[in-house]
Amino acid sequence: MRDMGRAGKMRFRIIPTGESMSKKILLLMLALTVHAQSTPMATRNSTPLDIVNLRMQHYNDHQVDALLTLYDDDIRVYEYPDRLQGTGKAHMRRVMEETLKDSTDVTISHQLENGRYVINEENVSYGGKARRYISIYEVSDGLIRSVRFIR
């Protein structure tokens, strides 16, 4: 390897390539592509409000798999302010499959967006019974990272 100079404290080097190196580069590029595809393009370039509204659409369409694509793998769900109800997509899948097996839907009465937070006043109907919630969604990098429910 040859030292090609300095930019700040970082050194740039030319690394000789051969068939083995080409394979390693190809594998690295493939891994990066798979990682980039784990967050759908539509959500990576969306605002937090877009993400939360898409979540509501999937919720009302009872599309659990589509709904889960909008959550971070380590999603944290709280009862406001900080009573942890569950973590992770597996938890969300169990909750959503149970919740959405009946005729459930949500309408949004009011909505506020402030930076990475979206606050909804939601009316949720479960088999004819309506409940009002205040939900606080934290969104970053196109994924819902946490949700806090005020019941």
* DSSP state string for 37-77: HTS-HHHHTS-HHHHHHHHHHHHHTT-HHHHHTTEEEEEEE
Closest C-alpha among 85, 145, 91 to residue 117:
145
* DSSP secondary structure code for residue 18 in this structure: -
Q: Residues 7-47: pLDDT tens digits?
A: 444 344 444 555 555 555 544 444 444 444 444 555 678 99
Residue 46: per-residue pLDDT? 94
Alpha-carbon 106 to chain mean position: 19
pTM for the full predicted model: 0.72
Which tens digit of pLDDT belongs to each residue from 115-130? 999 999 999 998 788 9
Integer Cα distance of 73 and 35 in angstroms: 13
Measured CA distances, 53 to 32, 70, 84, 123 (Å)? 28, 11, 24, 14
Residue type present at position 20: S
In what helix (H) or strand (E) does residue 26 lie, and over which residues does it extend? helix 19-37
